[in-house]
C-alpha cells in the first residue's frame, strides 16, 4: 500500500488492533461504531513517529510552530483561509479544547445551543461544564438527492434561541452524524445573529478535511468580520488522518478580544497535548494531502456502495448520501427491530453500530455506521443486518 492507494487491511489483521473500536466487543462481533478509520496512516506521520521513538524524543510538548504552520498551509490550500499562526493554540483533543474554552467564556448555568442529532460527546461536554442545554433540532424535511441533504436547520428557531439570552452556540461543522456541510448563506446568517445577540459560536470543524468534492467546506472564521468577532474554531488532524489516539487538537481565533480571553486558559491546556500528536498532526497537515485524497476516494466509493447494498438488500431503510466524512445515518424504523435497534443487531446479528438515541432522543430508530473500512466489511455488516431479520 502507498499513500496514493490507501486500503483497509483484512479483518484478521484489524482484530489485532488495540483501540476501543476493536477491543470494545466480543471477537465475533463486526464493529462499525467509534469514529476512527481502519486505514493505515500516512507515510509522513509514520516517519515522524518512527524518528521520534527512535530518538527517545518523547518528553513534554513545548513550542511547536510546525503545527500552526502546517495547519495554515492546509487551510490556505484547501479552503482559501488565511490563518495567522500566532492565533493557533493547542489542546489535548477537541473535547478538551471545547471544555477549556467554555470554562473561560461561561459560568455554570449559562445556556448553550446544540442542534440534535449531534455528536454524542457534545452532551457530555455540556454536563462537564455545568451549562444548560438548549436544543434546536434538525428536521428531516428537505429534498433528498445525492447533492441535497434532507436534514434542515430552522434558522428562525435558532434566532429565537439566541434572542432569549443564549451564551454559546456549539456547532458541528461539517455535521456528525448527518454528513451535512453548512452553506455560506447559513453560516453568514449565524454569524450576523451571533453578533446581534452577543452569542459565542464554537465551531467544531474536526470532520472538515474529509469533505467530498461536490461540496465546499467553508470555515466559520472565513465568513465575515462578524464571524471572526464571535467565533472560535476547534479542530484537529486526528479525524482526517486517523490519529485520535495521539491526542492533539488546535484552537483558532482571529480576533484580539477573543484571544485575550483565551489567554486566561491554564498553560497546561497546551502541554497536556502529546508531543507525538503535535508533530504527527503537523506532518499530516503539511504533507498528508496525497494520503487524504486517496482516503476520500475510498470513502466516496463506500458511501455509494452502502446506497447500492441497501437498495438491493434492505430497500425500506432510509439513508442519504453524506457530504463529508465516513458516517452513514440509517433509519431502521421499517425493520421493526424493537426499541433499541443497535442492541438487537448486536445481540442477534453480531454487528455493532452507534445507537441513534445517543445523538438525539428523537432518533432512537437510527444507527450510525462507520464506513471507513473495506468494501468487504461494509458488505458483511449489511448482510448481518439482513440475517438479523
Ligand atoms: C464532531 C466531533 N468532534 C470531536 C470529536 C472527538 O474529537 P477528540 O477525540 O479530538 O475529542 C469527534 C469524534 O468523533 C467528532 O465527531
User: Residue 158: pLDDT above 80?
Assistant: yes
Mean pLDDT value of segment 182-195: 98
**Does residue 240 line the site of ligand 1, with CB under 6 A?**
no
Using one digit for the tens of pLDDT, what is the confidence trace for 320-356?
999 999 999 999 999 999 999 999 999 999 999 999 9
Question: Would you state the CATH architecture of domain 11-41+289-388?
Answer: Alpha-Beta Complex (3.90)
Tell me the C-alpha to C-alpha distance, in Å, between residue 363 and each of 169, 204, 370, 376. 21, 22, 17, 28
Using one digit for the tens of pLDDT, what is the confidence trace for 255-281?
999 999 999 999 999 999 999 999 999
- State the Cα angle at 233 between 91 and 168, rounded to 5°: 105
Using one digit for the tens of pLDDT, what is the confidence trace for 110-138?
999 999 999 999 999 999 999 999 999 99
Instruction: List the alpha helices (DSSP H) in 231-274.
Output: 256-262, 268-271
**Does residue 119 line the site of ligand 1, with CB under 6 A?**
yes
Instruction: Find, among 242, 107, 261, 239, the residue nearest to 250 by Cα.
Output: 239
User: From CA 24, how far away is CA 195, in angstroms rounded?
Assistant: 44
**Does residue 249 line the site of ligand 1, with CB under 6 A?**
yes
pLDDT at 147: 84
Percent of the chain whose predicted confidence (pLDDT) is above 90: 98
Mean pLDDT value of segment 141-162: 93
Using one digit for the tens of pLDDT, what is the confidence trace for 356-375?
999 999 999 999 999 999 99
Question: Would you state the CATH architecture of domain 48-287?
Answer: 3-Layer(aba) Sandwich (3.40)
Each domain of the chain, given as residue ranges in start order, spans 11-41+289-388, 48-287
User: From CA 324, how far away is CA 212, in angstroms rounded?
Assistant: 5
Choice from 20, 33, 94 to test ligand 1 binding pocket (greatest atom count within 8 A of CB)? 94
Q: Model-level pTM?
A: 0.98
Q: Which distant-in-sequence residues (6+ apart) come within 8 Å of 18 by Cβ?
A: none
**Does residue 35 line the site of ligand 1, with CB under 6 A?**
yes
Amino acid at each position: 500500500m502507498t499513500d496514493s492507494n490507501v486500503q483497509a487491511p483484512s479483518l484478521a489483521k484489524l482484530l489485532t488492533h488495540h483501540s476501543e473500536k476493536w477491543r470494545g466487543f466480543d471477537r465475533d462481533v463486526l464493529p462499525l461504531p467509534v469514529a476512527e478509520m481502519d486505514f493505515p496512516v500516512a507515510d509522513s506521520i509514520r516517519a515522524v513517529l518512527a524518528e521520534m521513538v527512535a530518538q527517545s524524543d518523547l518528553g513534554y510538548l513545548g513550542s511547536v510552530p510546525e503545527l500552526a504552520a502546517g495547519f495554515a498551509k492546509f487551510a490556505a490550500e484547501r479552503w482559501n483561509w488565511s490563518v495567522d499562526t500566532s492565533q493557533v493554540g493547542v489542546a489535548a483533543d477537541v473535547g478538551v479544547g471545547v471544555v477549556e474554552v467554555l470554562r473561560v467564556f461561561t459560568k455554570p448555568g449559562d445556556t448553550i445551543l446544540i442542534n440534535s442529532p449531534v455528536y454524542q460527546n457534545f452532551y457530555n461536554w455540556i454536563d462537564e461544564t455545568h451549562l444548560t442545554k438548549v436544543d434546536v433540532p434538525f428536521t428531516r424535511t428537505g429534498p433528498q438527492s445525492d447533492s441535497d441533504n434532507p436534514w434542515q436547520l430552522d434558522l428562525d428557531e435558532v434566532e429565537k434561541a439566541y434572542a432569549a439570552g443564549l451564551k454559546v452556540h456549539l456547532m458541528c461543522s461539517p455535521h456528525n452524524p448527518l454528513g451535512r456541510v453548512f452553506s455560506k448563506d447559513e453560516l453568514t446568517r449565524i454569524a450576523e445573529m451571533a453578533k446581534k445577540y452577543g452569542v459565542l459560536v464554537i465551531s467544531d470543524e474536526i470532520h472538515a478535511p474529509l469533505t467530498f468534492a461536490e461540496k465546499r467546506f467553508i470555515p466559520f472564521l472565513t465568513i465575515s468580520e462578524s464571524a471572526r468577532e464571535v467565533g472560535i474554531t476547534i479542530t484537529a488532524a486526528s479525524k482526517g488522518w486517523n490519529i485520535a489516539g495521539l491526542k492533539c487538537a488546535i484552537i483558532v481565533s482571529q480576533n484580539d478580544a477573543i484571544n485575550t480571553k483565551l489567554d486566561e486558559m491554564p498553560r497546561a491546556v497546551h502541554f497536556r497535548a502529546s508531543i507525538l500528536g503535535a508533530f504527527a498532526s503537523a506532518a499530516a497537515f503539511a504533507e498528508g494531502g496525497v494520503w487524504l485524497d486517496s482516503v476520500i476516494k475510498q470513502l466516496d466509493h463506500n458511501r455509494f456502495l452502502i446506497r447500492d447494498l441497501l437498495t438491493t438488500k434492505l430497500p425500506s431503510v432510509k439513508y442519504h448520501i453524506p457530504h463529508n466524512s465516513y458516517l452513514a445515518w440509517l433509519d431502521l424504523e421499517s425493520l421493526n427491530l424493537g426499541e433499541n435497534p443497535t442492541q438487537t443487531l448486536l445481540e442477534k446479528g453480531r454487528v455493532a453500530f452507534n445507537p441513534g438515541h445517543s445523538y438525539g432522543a428523537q432518533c432512537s430508530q437510527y444507527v450510525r455506521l462507520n464506513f471507513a473500512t473495506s468494501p468487504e466489511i461494509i458488505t458483511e455488516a449489511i448482510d448481518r443486518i439482513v440475517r438479523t431479520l
